[in-house]
Amino acid sequence: MHKIALPPHVLDNIEKRRGGRHHIFDRLDPAKTALVVIDMQKYFMEPGMAGEVPTARDIVPNINRLASALRAAGGRVAWVTNNFPDDICESWSVMMRDIFSVERREAMLEHLREGGAGHPLWPELVTAPEDWQLYKNRFSAFIQGSSDLEARLRAEGRDTVIVTGTLTNVCCESTARDAMMRNFKTVMVSDANAALTDEDHNYSLGALVQVFADVMTTDEVIARLNSGEAAAAE
């Protein structure tokens, strides 16, 4: 599990911007909330895979706890995974040809497509029949053309997303930034996201918390879901 340590200047900044508060959202209404789980696929989870993020295996219990709590409270769980279509090298040539090496590109093309050995969800994740399972073809699930996640959420009247998964500083951060820019209340879960290093993880959380998202632990999110459920009942 990552050692979470936001720099003092980040904490000072968010207190100034939020009138002394560390958190934006005191309650999370389950009826308007979705847990968005990003890229918890074998390609990023399985030892020896080119995309392995070892810490991602550590966050599985917290993601399962969040999913269970949100289902029980009436929220939605969305498992969002990379699925690279045949035209990805042309439609996203900068990423596939310029940014990644030939070896990494070939590994991604082999594994991050339907039928690839690295494509399925990690088997220790606990899904349910009512959960959504959907694909994205870019880092962010909210950028135009990447997935139908936003349309699904709007159709159910959900305006709040809780972002978990891997990598914190790539697909999860991209998704969280775009979610806020699309006017969703956004929460990053500090102990249910994973990066390659503590530094990458903390830098990403520090950037997001100052403008784009609230940052909470799994326990803090579940407590706020329970508060939101109680408020709705009243």
Query: Residue 221: is its pLDDT beyond 90?
Result: yes
Active site residue 89: no
- Structural domains of the chain, ranges and CATH numbers in brackets: 8-233 (3.40.50.850)
Q: What are phi and psi of 165, to 5 degrees?
A: 125, -150
pLDDT for residue 98:
83
The residues near 178 (Cβ < 8 Å, ≥ 6 apart) are: 140, 141, 142, 143
pLDDT digits (tens, 9 = 90+) for 6-37: 888 888 888 888 887 888 999 999 999 999 99
Give the whole-angstrom CA distance, residue 160 versus residue 231: 16
From 29, 32, 39, 42, active-site residue: 39
Active site residue 172: no
Active site residue 136: yes
pLDDT digits (tens, 9 = 90+) for 104-151: 888 888 888 899 999 999 999 999 999 999 999 999 999 999 999 999
pTM of the model: 0.92
Nearest CA-CA partner of 77 in 120, 129, 132: 132
Query: Residue 234: is its pLDDT beyond 60?
Result: no
Query: Residue 152: is its pLDDT beyond 60?
Result: yes
From 42, 171, 178, 191, active-site residue: 171
Burial call 68-98: b when 16+ CB within 10 Å, e when fewer? ebbbebebbbbbbbbbbeeebeeebeeebee
From 29, 136, 172, 185, active-site residue: 136
